[in-house]
Amino acid sequence: MSEEILNPNVYLNYLQPTIASEYEVTRNVNLATLGALIWDILSTLPEDWRIARTSKPTPVLFAYFPARISALVVVLLSVFEKTGPITQCGVLALNLCVFWVVTSAASSYLFLKRVHAVFIHDRIVCHFFTFLWLAAFGGSLVVLPGPLHDYYEIANTKHCINHNIEDYVSIAFIGPVIFDALVFLAITYKILTFHNPSKPRSWKEFCYGEALPRLSRAVLQGGQQYYMITTSINMLRSVFALLPSSSPVLQLTFSIPAVALTSAMACRVFRNLKLKSLQEIEIGAFAMMEFMHRGPADVHLPNSSGANVIAGSGSVEEV
């Protein structure tokens, strides 16, 4: 005779103790991620408003803001999935994957346009990275068919759980990581070799960007921060996903934090560089006004560190 369940509406009663524990850990991780992402968005609202108010409409801006919004939607849907009440688990998971594809493609696009700006005179490199971005975007689409079949409701409790993760899903996560790594290496090489190409480079210059103009140093250091942080979280996610003993629930524990952190860091790098370039433009405009009123003898123009100090003379609007 089977043991009667005293609280049939409690979803944890229908899970094995190990799976129930992993389910709770994943739910708490998603809740913490949601809180951190909301804090990041609210704390940067003034900066986002300044960028939207002072910048011309460009494809980069149309990628920046959807990357922010879609990442928030992904985290929200992941929290709803673990907290309920949800009856159409497959539909919710499919929408989650759609918004993940959007935020992944938009975040990577920010770095694609950075490559285009740095290698503006090298069409082969630009076309190569455009192809890589399209390949990474196409690879991320393989996650879309799975959710309709891999997610189900836990015994009519209006809570969802995934019972299977296909091996090909790893391709969707690995593609953007490889693209980001190649972008980081290409831009770093171009910046370090563009300024005084005959001078040998040390590890200190590679790490800190010493002797580089301010905007070029910002591009280099921003890429370093993004690459180190996102690579660390994606490696952690990959370890859990590839462990033979990991359950489908545990395999996805760090997927949502990886999505949120990748989007947040990509947007942060773009935002910091954009604000720095706006500051340089304002300083240059102010110095020019002083020059016109006082004359050249009384004015010290700022050191040139605008868009043309970046390798390739690409537009700041596209970096």
- Contact (Cβ atoms closer than 8 angstroms) between residue 52 and residue 69: no
Count of Cβ atoms closer than 10 Å to residue 159 Cβ: 23
Element holding 35 (H helix, E strand): helix 17-43
pLDDT score for 73: 95
Output the CA–CA distances (angstroms, integers) from residue 132 to 36, 71, 115, in the order listed: 31, 22, 12
Q: Which long-range contacts (CB under 8 A, 24 or more apart) does 236-241 make?
A: 237/173, 238/170, 238/173, 238/174, 241/165, 241/170, 241/173
Which residue type, as a one-letter code, is found at position 30?
Answer: N
C-alpha–C-alpha distance, residues 37 and 66, integer Å: 14
The pLDDT score that the predictor gives to residue 99 is: 93
SS (H, E, C) 56-113: CCCHHHHHHHHHHHHHHHHHHHHHHHHHCCCCCHHHHHHHHHHHHHHHHHHHHHHHHH
Phi and psi at residue 162, in whole multiples of 5°?
-100, 135
Quickly count helices (H) and strands (E) in the chain: 11, 2
Using CA atoms, how far residue 182 sits from 87, 130, 237, in Å, is: 42, 12, 20
* Per-residue pLDDT in tens (0 to 9) along the chain, 319 residues: 445 555 666 777 777 888 888 888 889 999 999 999 999 999 999 999 988 888 888 888 889 999 999 999 999 999 988 887 888 888 888 899 899 999 989 998 988 988 888 888 889 999 999 999 998 888 888 877 766 667 777 887 788 888 777 766 766 777 777 888 888 888 777 777 765 555 555 555 545 555 555 555 656 666 677 777 777 787 777 777 777 777 878 878 888 998 898 889 888 888 887 887 766 654 444 444 444 455 444 444 444 433 343 444 444 445 5
Tell me whether the omega of the peptide bond preceding residue 213 falls within 30 degrees of 0, making it cis: no
Q: Which amino acid is at 10?
A: V
Number of C-beta neighbours around residue 266 at 10 A? 28
Query: For residue 103, what pLDDT is reported?
Result: 92
Distances (CA, A) of 312 to 97, 153, 208: 36, 54, 21
CA–CA gap between residue 16 and residue 74 (Å, rounded):
27
The three-state secondary structure class of 208 is: helix
Point out which residues pair with 161 in neighbouring strands.
152
